[in-house]
Amino acid sequence: MPAQSRVAGGPGAEYTAADISVLKGLEAVRKRPGMYVQGGTGVDGYHQLLTEIIDNAIDEGTAGFADEIHVIMHADGSATVTDNGRGIPVDMMASEGRPAIEVIFTELHAGGKFGQGAYKVSGGLHGVGSSVVNALSTYLDVTVNKGGKLHHIRFEQGVVTTPLEVLGDTPGDVQWATKVSFHPDAGVFKEFDNQFSYDRIRGRLRELAYLTGLKIVVRDERTGLHAGEVREEVFYEQGGIANFARALVTDDTKLLYDQPIVMRGTHSDVIVEVAFIHANTYASDNILTYANMIRTRDGGTPLTGFKTAYTRILNKYAKDKNMIKSGNPVPSGDDLLEGIYCVVSVQLGEPQFESQAKVKLLNSEAQTAVNAIVGEKFSEFLEENPKVGKTIVEKAAEAARAREAARKARDIVRRSNPLENDDLPGKLADCSSQDPAESELFIVEGISAGGSAKGGRERRFQAILPLRGKILNVEKAELNKILKNAEIRALIAAIGAGVEGTGDRMHFDLSNLRYHKIVIMTDADMDGGHIATLLLTFFYRYMRPVVEAGYLYIAQPPLYRITVGREKKGTYLYDENALKIAVAAANKEGKKYDIQRFKGLGEMNADQLWDTTMNPETRAMKRVGIEDLIVANEVFEDLMGNEVAPRKLFIQENARFAEISV
């Protein structure tokens, strides 16, 4: 939906101290950050800080007071968010004896979302989010353009260090109303390198541009991280939610019809927007849900409402039109949803989330509203567009036939290989520990590497599974073919949790996972990168909870060993740059050196492999985590699709994924 004209200082409701109400308490945030931010002190919690500030700016836009937002990631690790809305109130709060802006950033539950002056719909909690960000930042600076003056206040670790002050008249080139700059506290977030992921933030802002119609600019000034280039992108998506659903399908040739189906309406004060389109793919879980512009990753009531209405209407339509031939299996709910790419967005006054992390909406009225509007609008659409309706039903019928074929294939697999019994593949060298939390599975490439890994491992908690060559490309294969592949069957059996994303054909249960560290350990060359890519595609499509739980890793074996002078052990090096530095240092000291290039893991002896790649005390591993479905879809379509160039570039860069964090 196109955005209305909105500018800073424009007409509309005044935003003053009278609109701010307070519920006390900020002291516990630094002590127990996990209670207030999704992901606690890890990478998710770190990014949640920036997300909260962005959400507050978005609220000004969706309320009709702003139309442009800028997000900047600075070279020093800090971030800045600006919007051209009304500006945070800077007048005094009579009940607090302090400026409203100070209260907003120092008290939990203080903001423009609680009193009579509240936004009708809101994603962030202007006060909960703002104060938590403040508490968990080394510093936080707020500058407000209001009444022709620039007002400024500064906090350090949640405490006011520069009280509210007037800097002077607003310069003519200042187009924003509120500017918030902050630096997450490295003393709180200790688990990674304390840098915002551009892809992750970019994906979130791209979503918001589709959902709101706002102009959003993202800029990355971290030149040291990005080959000397400052990146900047502008998102302005007037096509709205229809274009969003369309963008989820990255391969035009797979579309089953041309334009997304769009449904809008309001039911009991809940605003509903739904858009979906079908493609010739096998996935049935590409449904994104949003509540007040916040991505609810676990869905909740809007998702239930959509699936209920969609399957009910489509089943009725197929039955009324006699589209399912006698003797063919009746499509299940998963069959009806196969190949769908969908966005469900609801806006409501008082959203009730499962937690502050906002991953699941609980409001029953949202389910009722989505059910009612989708039921009415989708039924009308099918009657008015019978050709599209027939295409969707035929896709579901094909999925039902494939499900039946997969069931038969599963029976064959069950009889011939231990996917669904207690047996483990013979080539698995298992560990003795029965505790998944301490157990590790290394997936290695070939017999040679498998031998070194088996000899070097710690048998108590490390298991080795050698694979022969490249596994099947599951992006292009049907389930029955996937389940017949010997290497994939061995992988499924070793992991022990089943297969996800296939409806009632198979079942995935994370609680049955036998290892909480699953490590892809392949050679550091193009073939190894390709094998890693194939494995990652399999995990993403059929064991995604493993990735989401943070249990999937990529080993980082060294490329070189340099021995300088008379030293015996040598130094292991992981990239070309490190080698150049080591050689330069040896030359400077006038010492002789010997360089060993490891072309494969099989060239290392067991002790070397343990020291460099498997020893928990000395190894380096990358944890794989795909945070944004849009980015993930783009990456995997590029990697596993028909275009060679993007796949080759990916492999050469050795597993740079949509979101990989150490």
Residues with active-site annotation: 445, 523, 525, 527
Q: Which two tokens stand for residue 174?
A: 């200042």
d(CA 347, CA 57): 16
d(CA 346, CA 367): 10
Contacts of residue 350, defined as CB under 8 A and 6 or more positions apart, other chains included, come to 363
Closest among 477, 470, 460, 475 to 491, alpha carbons compared: 470
SS3 sequence of 430-461: CCCCCCCCCCEEEEEEHHHHHHHHHHHCCCCC
Q: Which two tokens stand for residue 173?
A: 């080139």
d(CA 404, CA 410): 10
Residue type, 5: S
Contacts of residue 213, defined as CB under 8 A and 6 or more positions apart, other chains included, come to 1, 2, 3, 237, 238, 240
Closest among 315, 251, 316 to 277, alpha carbons compared: 251
Closest among 473, 470, 477, 530 to 502, alpha carbons compared: 477
| Beta strands per DSSP E along 353-506 | 440-445, 462-467
User: 573 in helix, strand or coil?
Assistant: strand
d(CA 496, CA 514): 6
Closest among 426, 496, 499, 500 to 464, alpha carbons compared: 426
State CA 225 to chain mean position distance.
Answer: 21
Residue 80 near residue 105, CB atoms below 8 Å: no
d(CA 484, CA 466): 18
Strand-pair partners of 471: none
What is the helix (H) or strand (E) element at residue 396, kind and residue range? helix 386-416
How many distinct helices (H) and strands (E) make up the chain?
Answer: 19, 24
The Cβ-side half-sphere exposure at 529, using a 13 Å CA radius, reads 16
d(CA 257, CA 276): 11
Long-range contacts of 582-585 (CB under 8 A, 24+ apart): none
Max CA distance (Å), the chain: 87
d(CA 350, CA 305): 18
d(CA 564, CA 593): 4
Q: What is the DSSP string of 173-239?
A: T---SEEEEEEE-TTT--SS-----HHHHHHHHHHHHHHH--EEEEEE--TTTTTT--EEEEE--TT
d(CA 331, CA 441): 38
